[in-house]
Amino acid sequence: MRRMLEDSNLDLVRQSRLLIDLIDQALSAPLLAPYRQRVRDLCAQMAADAQRNLDDLKHDLPSTFEAILSNTQAVASYLDIVGSRFTGPILRGRVDDDVMLAVLQWLHSTHAMTKSHPFAFGDGGFSVYHDLKFPTIYFLPASRQLTLLYVPLFFHEYGHVLYRFHKPEMDDLVKEFQQVVSAHAAPATIRERGTGGQDDDFRAKLVLAWYPWAQEFFCDAIGLTIGGAAYLQAFSHYLRLRSKEQYYRPRKAQLESRHPVTLLRVRMLADRARKLGLTSLADSVESAWISCAKLMRITEDYEGTWSDDFLVPLRKTLDDMIEEANPVTSEMLRPTVAASPVHLCNAAWEEFERSQANYAAWETQMVGQIRRNIASGDPWVTAATSG
């Protein structure tokens, strides 16, 4: 057994060092440097862990072999994960990654907790991998990496990162809301309670489902808080024609999903947007979604997973969560002279609404401007004010 464990760990040390060599040889954007260093450090840690296993084996104590095997398996799995998932943004680096990296750098710089947290982006549907032990990776479709209209969807993903940084406080707030859901779904009479029947099962599943759902509503609220009108526009345009599932899902499918039905998210977003003074846009977005629902012959029905009684407590929960996370807000940004991706995204949507025919040319010009400005250290100043 000792020999097998030694062989495996010697191989793991070598594989970790090869990954470090690949990272060192890769040509990637300067803005990726902190991410690159963090992934390199992870590889060095894996090499050190495998070496530690080899040192443990030198004691030749068979009673420790089970734990050393478990540690060996851990290094092997980490190596697979880092090699296949985290080196991609470094090894696939392209010169035009700089625009999205500049957006993410700005976003992370807006909050004390994230400003030194490394990040990268990769190809995929809009999403984020967030874990405090690893650098954060944002994903977006390859064709969206050179455009501006859907950049605000990053603000939602950034919400997940903020949640992670404030997890204990956020979990407490979500817990309070889950208790509201639990009380609402509780059987009405003592006789009905504790029967272990379908109602109890639904109630338990509903309370569980609201844990990730509350986080999604929070991330939407973060998106709107940071991006303002541009976030609502991007969210609505990106999802409204996607599929019937955005409007209706059977109860079982809802309870198994980490996301609430999108139409309900639109309702909550519109509610918050009105509070921010975006009444006309909120009305127009809701109206567009209802028109689409009618065209698809869908009646708004959340199959018991939502009650209007939840509206006020959910509003309050989201307000408290936003206060706890304390993100930069579009209102805070507006009166300042410092330009930002938020200005640019809002200008992009205004331009898109003004003239869709001319939009592509406008956007190409803006992206070119940002790229030229990146070298000067302030990517947004001219681009944003030009909008």
Q: Please give the residue ranges that form the binding site for another protein (CB under 8 A).
A: 52, 55-56, 59, 61, 63-64, 66-68, 70-71, 74, 77-78, 80-81, 85, 124-125, 127-131, 133-134, 139, 160, 171-172, 174-176, 178-179, 182, 200, 203-204, 207-208, 211-212, 258
As a residue count, the chain comes to 387
- The strand order across the sheet containing 119-123 reads 119-123, 136-140, 127-129
Of the pair 6, 171, the CB lying nearest another protein is at 171
- C-alpha to C-alpha distance for 32 and 48, rounded to whole angstroms: 24
Closest distance between another protein and the C-beta of residue 134, in Å?
7
Closest distance between another protein and the C-beta of residue 121, in Å?
13
- C-alpha to C-alpha distance for 374 and 60, rounded to whole angstroms: 56
Segments in 228-278 forming alpha helices (H): 229-239, 251-256, 262-275
Closest distance between another protein and the C-beta of residue 117, in Å?
15
- C-alpha to C-alpha distance for 11 and 72, rounded to whole angstroms: 11
Of the pair 35, 129, the CB lying nearest another protein is at 129
Of the pair 74, 288, the CB lying nearest another protein is at 74
Of the pair 160, 240, the CB lying nearest another protein is at 160
Of the pair 196, 377, the CB lying nearest another protein is at 196
Count of C-beta atoms within a 10 Å radius of residue 74: 14
> Which phi and psi angles does 123 have, rounded to 5°?
-80, 140
Closest distance between another protein and the C-beta of residue 131, in Å?
5
- DSSP-based three-state secondary structure for 123: strand
Closest distance between another protein and the C-beta of residue 383, in Å?
30
